[in-house]
Structure 1
Amino acid sequence: MASYQIDHRGSHYDDLRAGTIASMLANVNRNSKVKPEPWGPLDFMTWNESRQADVAETKPVLLDDPEAQGNLILSMMFPGKV
């Protein structure tokens, strides 16, 4: 807390560090034939400015049948369980 008051570094730097570690792990296990370009730290930080443009373009999937909608949600949240 006192360090943040002095140099104003905080959670944004922590998030970037975590994104760096996540991107390193993803790149180690990446299939370069399927995804030729490497992952970057911002790819794992969904709340940054570059990702917000991608999120704004997506539209929800709405089905007419409520049971089919529920099954879709369950299959996305718990793949392989439904």
Structure 2
Amino acid sequence: MLWFRLALKFGKSVARLKREIDCHEFGYWMAYSRIEPWGPYMDDLRMGMICATLANCFRDPKKHRDPFQPIDFMPWAKKQDAGERPAFEDPADQAQYDALALFGIDLNRLKALGKRRYVAKRGKRGNNDAME
């Protein structure tokens, strides 16, 4: 994703940047993006911090006990508990949910195709779809 962020920043295509930036310089860009993150996500986070600060200044503690957080003002971000996951009574339904959520594998579709196993293999250009 860093290639795309750099392409947006410099107004060039990714292919052109890959020709112009060598691996040594790209390593510096990777380090810089970790030290000082930038891009749309960080812009939204900074704006969320401003909104949370203003909302907390005028917050009524009787109506809102907990202070507002920056994530409350980022509509695309979902709050989730790390351990929260729906529980199904049927183990097959639970397996279907887990396979879809974790790996993007639709077990019911594989079963309909007569596939008993699914093996993920890395192919050309990151293609991970391989069924046996």
TM-score range, shorter chain: 0.5 to 0.7
Q: Considering Cα pairs closer than 8 Å and 6+ residues apart, tell me whether 1 or 2 has the greater RCO.
A: 1
- Give unmatched runs, 5+ long, in structure 2: 1-8, 11-25, 81-132
Larger proportion of helix: 1
1:43 partnered with 2:72: yes
Runs of 4+ aligned structure 1 residues displaced above 3 Å come to none
| TM-score between both structures, scaled by the size of structure 2 | 0.34
- Structure 1 residue 49, shift from structure 2 partner: 2.9
- Structure 1 residue 28, shift from structure 2 partner: 0.2
What fraction of aligned residue pairs are identical, expressed as a percent? 37
Structure 2: how far apart are the matches of 1:36 and 1:29? 13
Structure 2: how far apart are the matches of 1:26 and 1:33? 14
Q: CA RMSD in A?
A: 2.0
Equivalent residue, structure 2, for 1:24: 53
Count of aligned pairs between the two proteins: 49
Structure 2: how far apart are the matches of 1:40 and 1:33? 17
Structure 1: how far apart are the matches of 2:44 and 2:70? 9
Structure 2: how far apart are the matches of 1:23 and 1:49? 16
Give 1 or 2 for the bigger CA radius of gyration: 2
- Give unmatched runs, 5+ long, in structure 1: 52-82
